[in-house]
Amino acid sequence: MQKVPELSLRAYTEGSAAEKTRFIDQLFSGLKEYGFIILKDHPIDVGLLRQAYNLSERLFALPLDVKESYISPAGGGVRGYTPFGKEHAKNNKYPDLKEFWHVGRELPASDPLKSFFADNIWPTALPEFEPVFKRMFQALDDTGRIMLQALTMPLDVERDYFTRMTDRGSSILRLLHYPPIPEGAYKNCIRAAAHEDINLITLLVSASTSGLELLTRDGHWLPVDTAPDNIIVDSGDMLARITNEVIPSTTHRVVNPSGPNTSRYSMPFFMHPNPDAVLSCIPSCRGTDAKYPDILANDFLMERLRDIGLDPKKGRA
């Protein structure tokens, strides 16, 4: 029976040389075979995870007019609140059954890349929200960088290859709420239609209820479930592009509830390169030829955001 591999990050960060090598091998093979792995023993404080989920539930319980006051003037849902039914999967005309909130990287005004980034929006109705989600963003960013560093050996690139590529990345922490589905409504929609992530890797703090499924290489849907405090990691289109699909981007979805029709909350962290990074085929993955031409990370991101119904102004992430 197929099962997404479960790995201990502590084996890589604190283990022996043999344990580190085994982690690297299992991470690489897991992403190639499934596009997903499950990460336990990570450094993110469990108390912080639970506090973040509690705040997320309180956020989406606010009145709609209050939530809509936090829609970003930059457009495209780049920061703050995005209402229910706004986003859809690429090549799918039906909206996903979700609302969400985005927290992104903050750069000083003097940074040359600042113009690529919209300002964060913090809900004044929840004063503790800002410090908690600043900590969450940093913790997930740090953990994602460790995961990418572990891939440098099998990809035969410098140890700091991904660190340099992502140190000012357009990464996004998304708070997701899938409300209960009214009986007979949205017959052509599911909570998140089949799609691939845009970015390098995604770190998903395990959701409040089940529903996540991945499409296996032999074409069937496999549920992805794990303990509440673990992190689900998957590979996105940008990583597939620079690895010439040695690490493919895996199709996944969130299905409607088959049991109790309750809300579902999840918290993916989409790890992106710096907006001025060039997505170019890694030499060790080239084979006979690169499948994709070079492209700036921000150009690729803007193209894909338009594909899913989000259209930021001025190319800002």
What's the CA gap between 24 and 28, in Å, rounded? 6
Residues 6 or more apart in contact with residue 180 via CB below 8 angstroms: 261, 262, 263
Give CA separation, 232 vs 11, 87, 92, 196, 313, in Å: 17, 22, 25, 15, 31
Cα–Cα distance, 190 to 244 (Å, whole number): 31
Length of the chain: 317
Which amino acid, residue 95? P
- The helix (run of H) or strand (run of E) holding residue 91 is none
The whole-angstrom distance between residue 270's C-alpha and the CA centroid of its chain comes to: 3
| pTM of the model as a whole | 0.93
Per-residue pLDDT of the chain (317 residues; tens, 9 = 90+): 688 999 999 999 999 999 999 999 999 999 999 999 999 999 999 999 999 999 999 999 999 999 999 999 887 789 999 998 777 677 777 777 889 999 999 999 999 999 999 999 999 999 999 999 999 999 999 999 999 999 999 999 999 999 999 999 999 999 999 888 877 666 667 777 788 999 999 999 866 667 899 999 989 999 998 888 899 999 999 999 999 999 999 999 988 777 777 888 999 999 999 999 999 999 999 999 999 999 999 999 999 888 877 777 655 66
Find all residues with CB under 8 Å of 46, minimum gap 6, and list them: 229
Evaluate whether 139 touches 44 at the Cβ level (below 8 Å).
yes
Distance CA 307, CA 305 (A): 5
Contact at 8 Å (CB) between 52 and 203? no
Angle between helical axes of 46-60 and 129-155 (0-180°, round to 10): 120
**Domains detected in the chain:** 6-309 (2.60.120.330)
* Cα–Cα distance list, 242 to 141, 247, 276 (Å): 20, 9, 15
Closest CA to 196 of 248, 262, 144, 271: 248
